[in-house]
Amino acid sequence: MPRRYFGTDGIRGVVGDDLSPALVEKIGRAATIWARSAAKSEPGSDPGHVLIGRDTRASGPELEAALARGIVSAGGTAVLAGVLPTPAVALLADDLGAMVSASHNPPEYNGVKLFAHAGSKLSDEDEEAVEALLDASAQNGGSIECIEDAGERYLRHIVERFGSDLTGLRIAVDCANGSFSALAPGVFAELGAEVHAIGVDPDGTNINVGCGATDLVALSHKVLESGAHLGVAFDGDGDRVLAVDERGELLDGDQILAILALALSVDVVAVTVMTNLGFHRLMAENDIRVVTTPVGDRYVVEALRREGGLLGGEQSGHVVWLGAHVAGDGLAAALLLCRSLAGRTLSEAAATMARLPQAKRNVRVRDREIPRAILDEADRITEGLGDRGRVLVRPSGTEPVIRVLAEAETQEEAESICASIAALVLKELG
């Protein structure tokens, strides 16, 4: 059965439009029933405790309360942790974890991400099973608890496992007015860095607005203004990070992952279909095997566990290091990046990977079902490019858009190909 509500990363939508407190309450009830039912085969296991975190959106408290009502109505215990980054929920949840967030989306969006035992996101099959329970009847008998030290417990783990001496490092940190606003700058300072923070004044309406991993202009300016050695930018819920070098130039997730793969001496790395061909070439030169997955960090984590790997990520900034974590974590990745510089500037470290030019378009559509003719045209162009580039057309898992990616030896060629495919998508689906 195809999923109706779950997308690439949980359930997400515009609050008051396609996401309501009533739906979120149903999600809380269904997820709790599903988790407790799935655990019946394990003697003594009853995952009735659900850790709930949220980001800084104005709609967060109302949806948090709705999620808690749903959990209680299924006989579970809703454990409210307040504002937390998504990776903290994955790391700290003993049983089921739930994050009220729309990640990198604008403030009017919100959503719910679910984590099963050991911090893994639900599989496609698990999400289908939860959706099948959305109309389940209330059972009641549950309760609500609050915890005050979740952020501190998370930070202790991150500092101990990912921290290093950052004395002498000047770093600009953009927290996107999101979940890391009260947490991340202090970690870098504790480790000895001189910190210049922006995007640390959330008001419920400014998360991801002109700041964070979706807009690096302000961070680039801050790096140049402060003379920082580098800058890092998180998204609203903290599971993604992008960087800016000392010249104010952007580094995407592929470049960050390339630096880490070489510094950590891994023999396998998992990436998605969006990853730049330049990354694949660099890994081949260094005898590092690359496993490619669909878009979504959960698929990256699944591949790493299947292949026995530790490092993986996405161009968008999800970076996963299973050596000391269970999920993608922007702060952990930023600390690993700082450690990996080993006396080099960030631009020097990034120069080891030659990126092929890419062009991207997001085409807003009424229907995300891509016609065969569009896919055939993309395949035809990709075949003609050979090992010099490719075209990728896919529906977004979080927005009503079709994403078009073109990669080629020159920016002009990539832009031309991308524009032609985007025009075809707009004609057929716009």
Which residues are catalytically annotated? 103
- The helix-helix angle for 21-38 and 60-73 (nearest 10°) equals 40
Quickly list DSSP for 74-109. Answer: TT-EEEEEEE--HHHHHHH-SSEEEEE--TTS-TTE
Please tell me the number of Cα atoms within 13 Å of 256 on its side-chain side. 37
Which amino acid makes up residue 49? H
Burial (CB count within 10 angstroms: exposed 0-12, middle 13-18, buried 19+), residue 354: exposed
3 state SS of 383: helix
Please give the Cα distance from 19 to 66 (Å, whole number): 12
Range 304-310, long-range pairs (CB < 8 A, 24+ positions): 304/270, 305/120, 307/268, 307/270, 308/268, 309/266, 309/268, 309/269, 309/270, 310/264, 310/266
R_g (Cα) of the chain, nearest Å: 21
Sign of the dihedral defined by the CA atoms of residues 160, 163, 168, 172, in that order:
negative
In the chain, % helix, strand, coil (3-state, to 5) comes to 40, 20, 40
Burial (CB count within 10 angstroms: exposed 0-12, middle 13-18, buried 19+), residue 245: buried
